[in-house]
Amino acid sequence: MSGITGAFRHQLGGFLLDLEVKLPGRGVTAIFGVSGSGKTTLLRCIAGLERAGNGRLVVDGELWQDTASGVFLPVHRRPLGFVFQEASLLAHLDVRRNLDYGRSRVPAAQRRVSLEQAVELLGITPLMERRPETLSGGERQRVAIARALATSPRLLLMDEPLAALDLQRKAEVLPYLERLHDQLEIPILYVSHAPDEVARLADHLLLLEAGRVTAAGPTRELLTRLDLPLAHGDAAAAVITATVSHLEPEWQLSQLAFPGGQISLPSQDLQPGQRVRLRIQARDVSLSLLRQSGSSVLNVFAATVTGLADDSAGQVMVSLDAGGITLLARITRKSAAALDLQPGRAVFAQVKGVAVLG
């Protein structure tokens, strides 16, 4: 049976991890929560680096742990790759030999990811003869990911792999993580506390709090649920998929269609028919009861209010249905009262900014 199912009850001092998970067998699952919620502990239990006092884990139909029957595969027998915050490359070896070192632990008959494929996916061909100390932080992390892939894992675990990088290096690595998502069938469990990484990379989301699961499901759904923390604050956003319908070269614009309408974007080397993942931040959405004319805002969609929830001081988060797609709008309480917003109210969402993810 494809997928990952597990249940762990594990005491670490005063902290208790007590949860059950059922995760997809492909794509990126983001494990999200504040510091101390149990994200890394869960990953270590799945890897076998922590032996849960009571646990059961099945990966793609294979039993890796079952406390009740005494089954526990040690780390070296679990076909997985692990990428940590720090690259931890072997300083005395060049990049090629670092990759060979990781690959050597896998018998030739079990190698499903070639060294060439790992190198190409992470774009590290020009780095192969260099030593770790000559690499930037982003380059080192790309090599670490390639090393994990070179072991031909059936499961790839990433524990905040971008947390130690500055914004420039993070932006350098993210496109390569997207390539892994698009081109490999290996499931990836990705620990993060950064909403922008979750929005950009994850198909599925697992939310943890104090060692327990508070929600699990498709990322697009959980990002916009008003009862969950990701749908609040300045970073709250909806993620949608749109298709490039046509280009307007005279205006340097691309037109994209989604079930709620048409989106205009500045040209970004997009092609007709291309599917694009977009992020619409709640702070960039304003609401009106009438379609406005004489405005510079090009993206205006008819929508229906589906819910409201208090946000930060003086702010309200409004969930909207636009052709079956959920959007969020963060407005003042005064504006919500002036518009008499309530579930079922028809409005127009005016979107000031749309970001292409990837």
Q: What is the pLDDT of residues 97-111, one digit of tens each?
A: 999 887 877 776 667
pLDDT at position 358 over 70 = no
Q: What DSSP string describes 257-321?
A: EETTEEEEEE--S--TT-EEEEEEEGGGEEEESS---S-S--EEEEEEEEEEEE-STTEEEEEEE
The reported pLDDT for the residue numbered 274 is 92
pLDDT tens-digit series, residues 21-42: 999 998 999 999 989 999 999 9
Which band of pLDDT confidence, cut at 50, 70 and 90, is reported for residue 327? very high
Average pLDDT, stretch 124-147? Answer: 93
Sign of the Cα pseudo-torsion (188, 192, 196, 197, in order): negative
Counting residues of the chain whose pLDDT is more than 70, the rounded percentage is 99
Residue 175 tokens read as 């496109």
Looking at residue 101, what is its pLDDT? 84
pLDDT for residue 351: 95
Which CATH number among 2.40.50.100, 2.40.160.40, 3.40.640.10, 3.40.50.1970 corresponds to the domain 237-356? 2.40.50.100
Query: Could you give the CA distance from residue 306 to residue 319 in angstroms, rounded to a whole number?
Result: 5
| Per-residue pLDDT at 109 | 65
Asked whether this chain's domains 4-222 and 237-356 adopt the same fold, the reply is: no
Q: What pLDDT digit, counting tens, does each position of 216-257 carry?
A: 999 999 999 999 999 999 989 999 999 999 999 999 999 999
**Position 134 confidence tier, pLDDT thresholds 50, 70, 90:** very high
pLDDT tens track for 46-97? 999 999 999 999 999 999 999 999 999 999 899 999 998 888 889 999 999 9
Give the start-to-end residue ranges of the domains of the chain. 4-222, 237-356
- Look at residue 1 in the predicted model and tell me its pLDDT: 54
Q: What are phi and psi of 326, to 5 degrees?
A: -90, 125
**Four-residue CA torsion sign, 222, 224, 225, 226:** positive
The reported pTM is 0.89
Q: Tell whether the model's pLDDT for residue 20 goes beyond 90.
A: yes
Structure tokens at 108: 């030739």
CATH of domain 4-222: 3.40.50.300
What pLDDT, in 10s, does the model give residues 136-145?
999 999 999 9
Looking at residue 46, its amino acid is: I
Helices H / strands E in the chain, number of each: 8, 21
**pLDDT above 80 (res 262):** yes
The pLDDT assigned to 86 comes to 86
